[in-house]
Structures are given as C-alpha cells and as structure tokens.
Structure 1
C-alpha cells in the first residue's frame, strides 16, 4: 500500500501562516534534489509530492524552477557574505581571518539550509540571472583575494598566487554533499574544524 505523505511532511501544522517557514521547506527539499540528481532531472511536481503539497502551492512561493534555483544561490551568497564579513571584522593577522572564514562558511553550509548553498548547476540559470550571479561571485572573490594578499603582506600567508589560493578555498566545500555520510557521522563542527585546519596548513608561511 502506498504511504500517503502528510502535508508539508508533517513538519508543522498545515494551517500555519508562517510563509517564510513554508518557503524555506520548499527550498530545502528542492536543493537536496538538485544536488542529488541535477537541476534538469528534478521537476516541481516531484518537489511538491515529497512535501505532500500541490504544484500550485510551489508556484505561490516561486515563479518557476529557475526562481527556485536562483533563491538557493541567494542563500549561498548570504551565508558566504556573513562568514566573510565576520572574518574581516575579527582581530589578528590575515591568516587567522581566512581560517575563520573557512570554519564559519563550512558551518553555515552544513546548516539546515546549507545544501542550498552548495550547487553546481549554476549554468542552468537563465542568461540574465547567470550574468548577475557571475558578477556577484567576482565581487566576493576580490574581497577574499584582498584578504589573502593582506596575509602575504603581513607575513602570515605564503602562496605563489592569491587567486589560485582563493579558488581552492571556495571550491573545496563543494565536495561536502558527496561526503555527507562522513560529516553527518562526525558532526558539522568536526568538519568545519578540519576544513579550517586544511586552510591553515595550505596558506601558512613556512
């Protein structure tokens, strides 16, 4: 006998008026499916079925699947911006700041909505949205590159190319979905500390 899913997966009463909570649950479910099977292999119907709601409800919160993907990307930027702003404002040399960024960023993307941040299907966005996302990525990268360059100047960081170093720092966490069994067993704090330590060892002046 087919099991009937409870509306909204039973995570809260269907009568709740908390629109943000409902929107977040749709995002979380969609992002998990995108990461597991790829953007083009997931339909809004599938997301709706998993949540025990109609596709019409999905359309109430999101214009289309592109809007869903873009909203996931926005969460990724928010998490990364928050982590970098906190690191920039912290005390100490630049290496400590970059290490703290890595630790906080990994903690953020392993949070409830973290899977929304770790997406490799950006090219599936429509042309205008993708162009805006790439521009925002460049702005973010320049901020992180500047932090690494400050470390080269204060002697705490020793790398031959700050751009390559930053590319590694921001791309390494993209493997987290593939390591889910490992970090879910060890815990998110353990994973964040390990990524932070890898960053320290990679950038430290010898």
Structure 2
C-alpha cells in the first residue's frame, strides 16, 4: 500500500525570512549605501552650482531642481546650505591632503616629490570640490568649522614649504625662501580653480602641465 507525502509546513521563522526577502525595502546596509550615494550627488551638484553661480546666488531650491527632487528631500541628506558648503570645502581639502601625502610616499628626491604634489594640487583645483574650495573658500563657513578648514589649508602650505626647503638643502633647487616660494606655488596653482573652464581651449591636464613647467623652469630663455 503506497504512502502519500505532504509538503513540510514552513516554520514561523522560515515564513518570516521569506516575507523579509519579499520586502520592497532594501536591507539596512544597502539603504545606507544608497543614502550615501545620494548625499554625494547632492554635494557634487551643489559644488558645481556654487562654482557656476556663487554660494549666495545658489538656493536649495536650485540644487533640488537640478537633481529633479523636491527641496524637502534634500533635508534627508543635509541640514542646510551652510552644511553643504562645509562638506564641499572639506572634501576638496581632504582630496588635496590625501593626494599630497600619496605623492610624498611614492618617494624620489625633493624635486620629484614637489612636482608630483603640484600635479595633484593642479588636478584637484580643476575638479568641482577643489574648485569650490578655491572659488568659494572658507570665508562663508561658520565657526568652529572655519578654524578647522584653515588648519587643513595650513597643512597644504607646510607640505610645500617642507619640500622646497628639502630641495634647497639637497641642492636640486636654487636657494630661496621656502615660505615665500610655497606661497607663490600654491597661489599660482590655486588660481587655476578660478579661471579654468572645463570644455575650453585647454584640458585640465594641459593647464596643469604648462603651469607647472612655468613654475619649475621659469620664463627666461637659457643659453
């Protein structure tokens, strides 16, 4: 006589897992990744608009419109426009400091490291966050964040000073005042962030190459 078998009844725990898998909402880690990606999109778009129009001439409504969302949606990712600016400038500074440190860690003599740091700096100030750092700056950022950002800017200046001083000591750079020379280098490269326009006559790489060549080699014709 044959026996009939019945499908096993799922346990309550198994049913709960199945219901969770069928949820239209992503799990917590994925939701956090999505939120971070959207927050970065808010910051990137804001940086571009600050660069185009200026900080005061750009409203949260403008940023929301370019992202095709409502203004209240932005408040899920940022508190206000001041926080957006703070994060944009902070990102530009972190990118610069990380790039300079990576260039120094790559090794080489002082001139090699100085040139690599200049290339990093010139590249970043032609990008949205770096450009925002130069065009808007930290003047609009309220305290105590302004002090923090200025401390980070000082680290960039001192990195250039150390490399110039090291180059003079090695004999690979002409005798000079490291502080003044660092100001000239950083000032000249920073100005790229003010006048450079993507899609113009020169690419960002070509602008960086020519500016660095002028700073390193000068403009006098040599015999």
- Which of 187, 193, 198 is equivalent to 2:209? 193
Q: How does 1:84-163 map to 2 (within 5 A)?
A: 84-111=100-127, 113-158=129-174, 160-163=176-179
Whole-Å Cα distance in 2 between the matches of residues 158 and 151 of structure 1?
Answer: 8
Deviation of 1:188 (Å)? 2.6
TM-score normalised by the chain length of structure 1: 0.79
- Which of 60, 69, 87 is equivalent to 1:53? 69
| Residues 62 and 159 of structure 1: CA distance in aligned 2, closer, same or farther (over 3 Å) | farther
Secondary structure of the structure 2 residue equivalent to 1:127: coil
Whole-Å Cα distance in 2 between the matches of residues 141 and 177 of structure 1?
Answer: 17
TM-score normalised by the chain length of structure 2: 0.73
Deviation of 1:158 (Å)? 2.2
Query: Which structure carries more relative contact order (alpha carbon 8 Å, separation 6+)?
Result: 1
- Which of 70, 75, 80 is equivalent to 1:64? 80
Secondary structure of the structure 1 residue equivalent to 2:213: helix
Deviation of 1:146 (Å)? 1.1
Secondary structure of the structure 1 residue equivalent to 2:84: helix
CA contact under 8 A between 1:183 and 1:190: conserved in structure 2? no
Considering fraction of residues, name the structure with more helix.
1
| Residues 118 and 18 of structure 1: CA distance in aligned 2, closer, same or farther (over 3 Å) | farther
CA contact under 8 A between 2:99 and 2:117: conserved in structure 1? yes
Secondary structure of the structure 1 residue equivalent to 2:49: helix
| Residues 183 and 162 of structure 1: CA distance in aligned 2, closer, same or farther (over 3 Å) | farther
Secondary structure of the structure 1 residue equivalent to 2:135: coil
Deviation of 1:121 (Å)? 3.5
Secondary structure of the structure 2 residue equivalent to 1:139: helix
CA contact under 8 A between 1:84 and 1:101: conserved in structure 2? yes
Whole-Å Cα distance in 2 between the matches of residues 112 and 170 of structure 1?
Answer: 18
Whole-Å Cα distance in 1 between the matches of residues 40 and 69 of structure 2?
Answer: 14
The residue number in structure 2 matching 1:12 is none
The residue number in structure 2 matching 1:24 is 40
Deviation of 1:127 (Å)? 2.0
Deviation of 1:162 (Å)? 1.3
Q: How does 1:2-41 map to 2 (within 5 A)?
A: 18-41=34-57
Whole-Å Cα distance in 2 between the matches of residues 107 and 82 of structure 1?
Answer: 13
Unaligned runs of 5+ residues in structure 1 are 1-14
Deviation of 1:92 (Å)? 2.5
**In the comparison of the two structures, how many residue pairs are matched?**
189
